[in-house]
Amino acid sequence: MVAARDACWWLSPWKKLDQEWRAGCARGQQQLAKVADSVQKTTYLTGAHWGSLADCGQLQGRASSRLWDLAHRCSKRLQDEVDGLADIYARMRRLLTDDQAEALDEKRRQRYELLLLEVLAMYEHELVAKSLIASDIFECSKHDTVTVYLASWQMQPHIDRERLEELDTLIQNDSHYQTR
């Protein structure tokens, strides 16, 4: 008889993809933090923080230009990370059509598909939120807005880790379904 964790064809590959997802989110967060840092530093260039160098307009202009260039490069890298997350999500969706699912009886396959659809919905909502942040950050010129984006990125309100653990436990303990 097949073990419950083996019967759920998507659990093991999904866990690997989830690790990739988390790593991509962490890299994206680093890029977003660099954008926030660069934007914040540009605000100091317009203030009285320059002291005796306040009259050096060319130096201020060059520093500002470099900071904005860095912010734009980091914005591009952030978009690349979001594109990577979209690729991971697409690979997660392909788990729905895996050939291993056909080996299960119809009732069990449908049950596992419903669980996977619930999981995919969480990732889809988070991907949309991160995509919106990445697409708007390039146009952003205010540090407060970038800080809100950074907080939104970190909070990950769409992926319910507790629910994912519950689903994992449910699948792991699915032996009572084996006898039906």
Give the model's pLDDT for residue 21.
Answer: 97
The verdict on residue 112 lying in a domain is: yes
Give the model's pLDDT for residue 1.
Answer: 45
Into how many domains does the chain fold? 1
The verdict on residue 13 lying in a domain is: yes
Give the model's pLDDT for residue 173.
Answer: 83
The verdict on residue 1 lying in a domain is: no
User: Containing domain of residue 55, as a range?
Assistant: 8-178
The verdict on residue 3 lying in a domain is: no
Gap between the Cα atoms of 131 and 147, Å rounded: 16
Per-residue tens of pLDDT for the chain, all 180 residues: 445 445 789 999 999 999 999 999 999 999 999 998 988 888 777 666 666 666 777 887 888 889 889 989 999 999 999 999 999 999 999 999 988 888 888 888 899 999 999 999 999 999 999 999 998 887 776 777 888 888 888 886 789 999 999 999 988 887 555 545
Give the model's pLDDT for residue 122.
Answer: 96
The verdict on residue 124 lying in a domain is: yes
153 burial level (CB within 10 Å; 0-12, 13-18, 19+): buried
pTM of the model: 0.85
Give the model's pLDDT for residue 140.
Answer: 73
The verdict on residue 2 lying in a domain is: no
Give the model's pLDDT for residue 108.
Answer: 85
The verdict on residue 111 lying in a domain is: yes
The verdict on residue 137 lying in a domain is: yes
